[in-house]
Each structure stands twice: as C-alpha cells, then as structure tokens.
Amino acid sequence: MDLSTRYAPSDIEGPIYADWDAKGAFQPPAEGEGSGKTFTVAIPPPNVTGVLHMGHALNGTIQDVVVRHRRKLGFDTLWIPGTDHAGIATQAVVEKMLYQEQGQTREEMGRDAFLAKVWDWKEKHGNIILEQFRRLGCSCDWTRTGFTMDPGLSHAVRVAFVELWEQGLIYRGARLVNWDCVLQTAVSDDEIEMSERKGKLWHLRYPLSAKPGEHIVVATTRPETMLGDTGVAVHPEDERYKHLLGTTCRLPFLDREIPIVADDSVDPAYGSGAVKVTPGHDPADYERGQRHNLPIINILEKDGKISENGGPFAGLSREEARKQIVAGMEELELLGEVEDISHNVPLSDRSKSPIEPLVSEQWFVKMEPLARPAIKALEKGWLQFRPARWSKVYLHWLENVQDWCISRQLWWGHQLPVWYDEDEVPVASVEDLELGAAHPKTGKPIVRRDPDVLDTWASSWLWPLATLGWPEEGAKDLARFYPTQFLSTAQEIIYLWVARMVMAGYAFLPERSEAERNPFATCYIHATVLDGKGKRMSKSAGNGIDPLDMIEKYGADAVRLSLVLLTKEGQDVRLSPDRFEQGSRFCNKVWNAARFVMMNLTGERDPNPATLEDRWILSRLKAVTAEVSAALDTYRFNDAANALYRFVWNDFCDWYVELAKGRLTGDDAPSAAAARGVLTRVLKDALGLLHPFTPFLTEKLWEMLHGTLEEAPDADLILAPWPTGAGLSADQAAEDEMGVLQGVVGAVRQVRSLTMIGERKRVPAVIAAPRDDEREALTRNADAIQGLAYLESMEFGATAERPANSAVSVYGGVEVFVPLGDEVDTGKLKDVLENRAGKVGAQIQGAQKKLENKNFVERAEPSVVEAERERLVELEVELALLERNLAGF
C-alpha cells in the first residue's frame, strides 16, 4: 500500500467532487424511483457580486451536513442553489467598473446598453461564489441552479406583483423615503445602518414676525434643511414658549413666514427646546407636519444638490450649502451657540453615504394582511425557529410591520410591470403592454412603462416557490418538494427575507392547506462569526479570514469540521486562523487510522467479537451511532461532531487500535481474524457517520478501503445508507471491564512517567485488587494490560504486600505497585499523589457534609442519596490507600 503518512486534501478534493457531480449524486432520484419521502433545502442565494466569507462557509457547511445526512438516510434530497441579482450592489459594482474603465456613466450609455453590460458582467463573474461553495464540498443540485432574474423567476415576480395588485395590496404614494444620493434610489429602512459620528449642534435664531429684534432659537444638526422648514415646534407645556404659540417667525434667506406650533413629541430638555420642522426631509418632522398641516417643501434634487426651492443656495451640494448657510446666518447675526456632539447618522448599506430622507413617489405593498398568516404559521408550530428565541424577533417585526416600499430607482432588476395611459392611470400586467395599445381598464392608449425596478427582496421572497416551478400550472417540483424542511440563514435577514418568504407562501398558494403553504418547517439561525477580538467579521473592517485561504491550507473537510466543532447552536463564535488546526489534525488522524486498518487486512476477517476490546468498541460504536443520529435529527451539529471526535480519537485510535496491534501480528489466527473484522466494521461505520462533516476524506477512504478489501461497494459513500448500528449490541459488562483495564494501564503509565523509568523499559507490576470483578478482569486481560503498560510481569491478588522500593499509583480501590531500583526519584510521584489525596479528601468532606444533612437524606431522591453513599465509600477507600502508600515514601 502506497499511502502518504499525511493526508493531502488538495490532491483528492477536486477529482472526488467532479466524480460525484458526474454521477449525478447531488440530484434527487427521479420521481417514482426514490423513497418518495423528500427533504428539501433552498440555499439563501448569495449576491452575484459576492465572494465566500466565513459566514457563507459556516452556513454552507451546516446545510451540507444536513443534506448529506438526510440523503444517506434515504430521503429524496434536494438542495437548490442559486444567486440573487442584488439590484443595488450589482449595479453599483458595474457602474463603478464602467466609469473606471471607460469613463462612462450609465446615463451616457443608456438603459439597454448598460443592462447588457451588467449581464456580461454577471455571466463572467456571477458564478464565483457558487464555485466557492463547490470547493467547500456543498452537494447542491446544480442542474436546478437558480438566479433571481432568470426567465422563470422573472415571470414569477410579475405574477406575484399582479396578484397583489389585483388584491388591492399595492399602492402608490408620496412618502418620505430614505434616499441614497450616490446610487440615486430609495432604500428600505432595513437597508440602513446607523453610524455614530461626530457632528455639531447649531443653534439658529429665527426672527419673530410680530416682535422685531426678538428671536426663537432652534437647534439642528442639519442646518441646510432649514430651507425646507415650514414650521417651528415646541412642547405644549413649555413655559418659555407658551406665549408664542399661534404666532409666526420668519425663515432667514427665504423670508418665509412659518408658524410656531405645539407638539408633544418635542423634548423640552434637548437643545433650546424648540425644533425646526422640515416635513420634506426628516421622518419625525414629516409626522409633525402631518399633525399640523404644514406644507412639504422638497429642497433636494435626486443627486443631493439643493433644488430651486433653496432660493439663493440652489445648485449647491449638501455640504457646500451647509457651510454657506452657517456662514450666512453668522453674517446676519442669527447664529447662536455651536455645540460639538456625537450623534447617529443613517448610512446607506450599499454606498455608505448619508441617507437623505425626502419625499418622493414610490410603490408600496400593504403588509398587514400578508403578515397575519405568517404569524399564525409560527403560532401553530408549522414554522419553528432554532434557537427558539428568534421567534420573538420574527413576531415582533410582523406585529409591527410597516408597508414595504418596493420601488427602486435603478435599472438592474425586475422593471415594474406597470404601464400608464395618457392620463397617468396605471395598470399592472403579466404580459408586456405595447405602447399605443389600449389600457385594459380605461381603453386609452398606453404611453409609457414605469421605469423603476422592484426591490431585490421582491424576487427573493419567492425563492422557494419559484425555484420549484411556481406559478407554472401543475409544477411537478413544487408538488413534490414544497414545503421545504430546513432553512439555515443569518439573523440579520429574518425580516428582510425569512418573514417575507413565509408571507409569500401564504399569499400565493391559495389552493393548499395552511400547513402546506408554510415554506420551511425549521428556520435555523446560525452563529455569527466574529474575529478573535469579538468583533463582527467584515470586509470593511478588514478582519475577515478568507475561507478559501483556509481550504487551501487545511482542506475543505478541515474547515467544515472545525467550524462545526466550534459553533454551538446559535452561539456566536470567535474565530482565529489557528482554530482550523483542530479539524485538520483530526482529518489526518482519521487518514492514518484508516491507513493502519488497510495495512493489516490481509487474511481472514471474522465480524464477530472475540475479545473484551472487540465487544467494547462495538458497544461504543452502537452508542455513538445513536448519539450522532439523534443529534443530527435535531440539528445539534456540534454535539454530533464532538461525539464522533471523541469516539474516533479516544476510543478507537487510543485504545482499540493499540490493543489490536498485538493480535494482528500474533499467532492466534482466530483472534487476528476477529480484530480484522471488527476494525473493518468500525472503520466503515465511522466513515459513514463522519461523511456529512468530512465528505472528501471519507469518500476517498471508502473507495480505498473497498479496494483493499477487493469488494465493490454497493454505492459511493455519499449515497451509501446511513449506519444504523445493525448487528451491534450495547455491552455494559464490556464497558465496565474495559474501565478496569484502562485504569490499571493508566496507573502504570503514571508511575512510569513520574518516576522517569522511561517508556521503553519493561517493568514488573504488583496489583492489589480487592474486588472479584476487578481480579477477573485482570485475569482475562493480562496480556492486553501487559502489552499496553509495557510490563515484564504482572502479579495480582485481593491484597498485596507493597514491594520494597516500589512506586505506587492508585486507581479507585486498586493499588498498582511498580518495584524500582534505589536510584529512582519518587518525588514527583509523591507530589501528584498528595495532590490527588487532597482533592479526594475535599470531596469526602463534601460528601460527608451532604450525608450528615438530614434534609438531604430525607428530601433528595433516594437514588441520589444512595449514589452519594456509594461514592463516599469509594472515595474513602481511595484516600486510605493513598495515605497508606504516601506514608511509605
């Protein structure tokens, strides 16, 4: 067998993945050919502009673990991949590129030419992130790869829009929207991040109309918006201003007379207690303006420059206008105090530029009717969050849901299927309406189509529906694979995406039962990946770890396993690059354990256990199989991975393989055959259990193992049935007996290490084991113990005289003596035994105190009291042995 002693993932991952893909292993069986039980997962489609970050890697791993497990369990398993066209992000990337490369803006190019460029860019760069998911080993059905601007999805978007339109849930309104002056589009509340900035609070003095020379002072962080002021508001109970209510003041520069009104929302303690009201450019002022019938004046152009409503400041940028206004006010002696403050500035997620609230004409969806069934789905348990606490976040949003602004002033996206006649009467249509054609309602000619596009989420909320064929009549995939079972995603898109998908399920599948409309049974919110200092990983902060670098260095399996081992359900994880060592080392350990097995398979194999360790490891295998299965069934990935890690490393490698070595090379042929049989069984099952976590490594070893066995496997491991533990039995007696063996071996090793006898010197041992079962265990396993402990001889009895010049270790009630020469230093051993005696003594005190407490004895469960009594006896025996032997040093 020619096998490297090191696992080299980079050599094998590519070919194995290509092989799976070529064999169609990622696709569910055709209808009628599988088990009929489906398991479906729809990937959260990453942006086409995206590159894989650690959050993706974690989420991809989680989904792939689930999908591979369910596939091996025999479900007709489908994982739908795809990407999101990501309107704003993608348009911004391409615009920037075109401007840098050709010096052209999109306006100069025109809409059609620009969109052609975006499509070019998408074809060229849009699959990078999906390629990266392949590198990670994700077993998506690539034949069903979706894109939110595919013809099918585009059609679905139109049908959904028209459906809502006909239900009267879509309306147009002049509303204050969050305007991104750089990208020149409205963005939703959910696409804004607040950023703490240093700024100033300017106090401005507005002259009172009726009292020349007197002023009312307002405080603002955005003096340039004064050009749009249509009022001043004070708190109704504020004594300073009561006498001014109902009067007016004059707005400097524009000489506009504006009323002073009373409004509860004003905080008398902030600034001067009087606030300027700019209904056109501030959400709170918009509300105030509504309450007091103040006019709305828009002073900004779409690009953020001051409009003609700004009088002398028209045409200036926001920043320049601010400077000139402050300077002008100072000149007029109307500038008061200027305070330095820090305040929260709303920034656009995409362009990072300050958001300007402004009034504009937008399309909205009424959300309240859509939210109701989404709330019910959770309350009925059709939808469950993991961890469950996210339910609250979901519910809170839905119960306070705001109407959804769905229009965006972009070019890249789904253009609104809305046309207008010459009277500007709009109509929505699934089919394109020709210009000049008759408006279906008014009969007048259609003169234009709405130029806006839909919010990106207006397509991704249909993702699980449309990727399965909705709204096509009789869509087979939809019937077979919807609803899906599992959605894994990040907490920040519970509102943006998760809640809306549930709404869409209820809005667009009226023919189904309520439970069958809900798009996914479980919504798993995965951990947030933080850097080593507890900060969120992000590109802008530059603290990210590139998963591709880690895959390059350690292999995809190591990255996957490390991530799963590190992330407890929903608990954020701090990650540093060296964390991937753990997965990497484990993969190497598995590789070498498998190598060992394969190098020793020549000869008969007997699947039946012949020895204690055979029965023990098979019993452990049964237990770990059950544990891993139960954990994966309930999405406890970390528990499953940890159980496997311990089983493979601590049970199989450290004990079973070590014990098997002697038998494989010994002359007891039946024992050797049993060892080979058990090694094979354990390795096969372990590979199956590990496969969801480390698919490449296990598939490769599966193939190599069958090569060595000269057996053709029934299936590649990816499709081979999940290990069930069939034919294995739990064997408590074997586990107990193995405990004695491990304890005695450990005691000898301790003596050896602490007295510096050396690892390679055979020593005699004398053992006092008072209990019958312990002596029986020693009798039956003398060879094994002598082998592992490297003994030259072993004597034992119920009692034993401590040999002269011997070191001793105590395992429970068992004393293990190792006679030494005079020259050996027992100082360290003595320290360790004293340390141990101290700890045992403390535990005895604790136990005694407990048992002397009447309340404990009377009120605690009898079994608990009994266990405590037994424990005390054992501890006392151990302490007595320790003390007796310490006295002999």
Partner RNA sequence: GGGCUAUUAACUCAAUUGGUAGAGUGCCAUGUUCACAGCGUGGAAGUUACUGGUUCGAGUCCAGUAUGGCCCA
Binding residues among 381-400 for RNA as defined by CB under 7 A: 389, 392-393
By CB under 7 A, name the one of 2, 424, 578, 667 that touches RNA: 578
From the list 136-144, 412-420, 517-525, 756-764, the region that binds RNA by CB under 7 A is 756-764
Question: Is 221 one of the binding residues for RNA (CB under 7 A)?
Answer: no
Give helix 54-72 / helix 547-554 axis angle, nearest 10°: 60
Our CB check for RNA shows the closer of 16 and 153 to be 16
Q: Which of 423, 464, 469, 463 lies closest to 442, judged by CA? A: 423
From the list 78-86, 290-298, 574-582, 703-711, the region that binds RNA by CB under 7 A is 574-582
857 Cβ contact partners less than 8 Å away, ≥ 6 residues apart? 851, 865
Cα–Cα distance for residue pair 317/685, rounded to 1 Å: 69
By CB under 7 A, name the one of 155, 372, 568, 605 that touches RNA: 568
Find the length of the chain: 889
From the list 152-160, 179-187, 410-418, 491-499, the region that binds RNA by CB under 7 A is 491-499
Assigned token pair, 294: 């103040």
Q: Which of 52, 29, 248 lies closest to 138, judged by CA? A: 52
By CB under 7 A, name the one of 331, 760, 822, 823 that touches RNA: 760
By CB under 7 A, name the one of 113, 174, 194, 515 that touches RNA: 194
Our CB check for RNA shows the closer of 18 and 842 to be 842
Question: Is 732 one of the binding residues for RNA (CB under 7 A)?
Answer: no
By CB under 7 A, name the one of 836, 877, 880, 883 that touches RNA: 836
16 Cβ contact partners less than 8 Å away, ≥ 6 residues apart? 695, 696, 699, 700
Residues 16 and 507 sit within 8 Å (Cβ to Cβ): no
From the list 255-263, 372-380, 746-754, 774-782, the region that binds RNA by CB under 7 A is 746-754
Residues 228 and 176 sit within 8 Å (Cβ to Cβ): no
Our CB check for RNA shows the closer of 59 and 584 to be 584
Least separation in angstroms between CB 867 and RNA? 7
514 Cβ contact partners less than 8 Å away, ≥ 6 residues apart? 373, 376, 377, 380, 382, 506
Assigned token pair, 436: 């000049």
Question: Is 240 one of the binding residues for RNA (CB under 7 A)?
Answer: no
Least separation in angstroms between CB 123 and RNA? 33
Q: Which residue has the tokens 């050896």?
A: 752
Least separation in angstroms between CB 568 and RNA? 3
From the list 446-454, 687-695, 714-722, 851-859, the region that binds RNA by CB under 7 A is 851-859
Question: Is 864 one of the binding residues for RNA (CB under 7 A)?
Answer: yes
Question: Is 532 one of the binding residues for RNA (CB under 7 A)?
Answer: yes
Give helix 612-633 / helix 732-754 axis angle, nearest 10°: 110
Q: Write the DSSP symbol of residue 187.
A: E
Question: Is 542 one of the binding residues for RNA (CB under 7 A)?
Answer: no
Strands (E), 368-439: 384-386, 404-405, 407-408, 418-421, 426-428
State which of positions 795-834 bind RNA (CB under 7 A).
832
Least separation in angstroms between CB 280 and RNA? 20
Assigned token pair, 204: 């401005």
From the list 4-12, 350-358, 680-688, 778-786, the region that binds RNA by CB under 7 A is 4-12
Residues 347 and 160 sit within 8 Å (Cβ to Cβ): no
Q: Write the DSSP symbol of residue 221.
A: S
Question: Is 512 one of the binding residues for RNA (CB under 7 A)?
Answer: no
State which of positions 661-680 bind RNA (CB under 7 A).
661, 665
| Cα dist from 274 to 203, 207, 311, 329, 612, whole Å | 10, 13, 24, 18, 86
By CB under 7 A, name the one of 67, 233, 558, 766 that touches RNA: 558
By CB under 7 A, name the one of 256, 595, 605, 706 that touches RNA: 595
Handedness of CA 821, 822, 825, 831 (dihedral sign): positive
State which of positions 643-662 bind RNA (CB under 7 A).
649, 653-654, 657-658, 661
Our CB check for RNA shows the closer of 109 and 393 to be 393
State which of positions 324-363 bind RNA (CB under 7 A).
344
Our CB check for RNA shows the closer of 599 and 715 to be 599
Least separation in angstroms between CB 531 and RNA? 10
Question: Is 749 one of the binding residues for RNA (CB under 7 A)?
Answer: yes
Give helix 111-125 / helix 87-102 axis angle, nearest 10°: 100
Least separation in angstroms between CB 505 and RNA? 23
Our CB check for RNA shows the closer of 415 and 786 to be 786
Q: Which letter, b or e, does each residue of 847-875 get, where b requires 16 or more Cβ atoms within 10 Å of its Cβ? A: beebeeeeeeeeeeeeeebeebeebbeeb
By CB under 7 A, name the one of 199, 596, 720, 780 that touches RNA: 596
Least separation in angstroms between CB 691 and RNA? 18
Question: Is 7 one of the binding residues for RNA (CB under 7 A)?
Answer: yes
507 Cβ contact partners less than 8 Å away, ≥ 6 residues apart? 160, 163, 164, 370, 373
Least separation in angstroms between CB 649 and RNA? 6
Least separation in angstroms between CB 758 and RNA? 6
Cα–Cα distance for residue pair 13/575, rounded to 1 Å: 24
- Coil, strand or helix at 217: strand
Least separation in angstroms between CB 510 and RNA? 30
Our CB check for RNA shows the closer of 36 and 532 to be 532
From the list 442-450, 461-469, 603-611, 848-856, the region that binds RNA by CB under 7 A is 848-856
Question: Is 599 one of the binding residues for RNA (CB under 7 A)?
Answer: yes
Question: Is 873 one of the binding residues for RNA (CB under 7 A)?
Answer: no
From the list 12-20, 164-172, 418-426, 586-594, the region that binds RNA by CB under 7 A is 586-594
Question: Is 119 one of the binding residues for RNA (CB under 7 A)?
Answer: no
Angle at 668 between CA 667 and CA 672, to 5 degrees: 100
- From the number of C-beta atoms within 10 Å of its C-beta (0-12, 13-18, 19+), residue 101 rates as exposed
Our CB check for RNA shows the closer of 540 and 665 to be 665
344 Cβ contact partners less than 8 Å away, ≥ 6 residues apart? 194, 195, 196, 197
| Cα dist from 125 to 90, 94, 113, 139, 781, whole Å | 11, 11, 18, 21, 64
By CB under 7 A, name the one of 19, 163, 189, 668 that touches RNA: 189
Question: Is 739 one of the binding residues for RNA (CB under 7 A)?
Answer: no
Residues 355 and 177 sit within 8 Å (Cβ to Cβ): no
Our CB check for RNA shows the closer of 522 and 742 to be 742
Question: Is 620 one of the binding residues for RNA (CB under 7 A)?
Answer: no
Give me the DSSP letters along 564-623: HHH--TT--EE--GGGHHHHHHHHHHHHHHHHHHHHT--S----S--SHHHHHHHHHHHH
Cα–Cα distance for residue pair 174/363, rounded to 1 Å: 9
By CB under 7 A, name the one of 112, 424, 667, 759 that touches RNA: 759
At 713, the amino acid letter reads: P
Residues 503 and 458 sit within 8 Å (Cβ to Cβ): no
Least separation in angstroms between CB 129 and RNA? 22
From the list 45-53, 100-108, 150-158, 742-750, the region that binds RNA by CB under 7 A is 742-750
# residues contacting RNA (CB under 7 A): 73
By CB under 7 A, name the one of 573, 719, 782, 886 that touches RNA: 573
Least separation in angstroms between CB 555 and RNA? 7
Least separation in angstroms between CB 5 and RNA? 4
Our CB check for RNA shows the closer of 249 and 624 to be 624
